[in-house]
Amino acid sequence: MTTARIVANAQTPEYYFEERCHVVECWNSADDASSSIARIRVEPGVITRLHRLRGTSERYLILHGRGRMHAGDLAPAEVGPGDVVFIPADAPQRIANLGDGDLVFLAICTPRFVPECYEDLDEDP
């Protein structure tokens, strides 16, 4: 990427992902393969599927709600607005929404997220 730009995401559609969450791809461009940013929304009472990102590290920046994060070898821990979770590449991860409202966070991946890096680790289909 060689030029500055502004990406307006107000009209970017949200889609449901098999991980049990809703996603808005805020920034994910092949011409900036170093990183991607997505807004993730997890509905109340939902636990995302256990998964890992092969070769991709991820950071969750919690914007709204309360969750319980399971990441790698860390003991499960509660997270809330302003918290950042670092998830190393290939580490198993999932998050549970503990609140009555949506859990919303930014998922910042390096290198950028591509569907081929996602690996579902849950035992149930």
Q: With respect to residue 21, please indicate whether it lies within any of the assigned structural domains.
A: no
Range of the domain at 114: 26-120
- Residue at token pair 């049990």: 20
Q: pLDDT-based confidence at 110, cuts 50/70/90? A: very high
Q: With respect to residue 40, please indicate whether it lies within any of the assigned structural domains.
A: yes
Q: What is the pLDDT of residues 42-91, one digit of tens each?
A: 999 999 999 999 999 999 999 999 999 999 999 999 999 999 999 999 99
Q: With respect to residue 111, please indicate whether it lies within any of the assigned structural domains.
A: yes
Q: With respect to residue 2, please indicate whether it lies within any of the assigned structural domains.
A: no
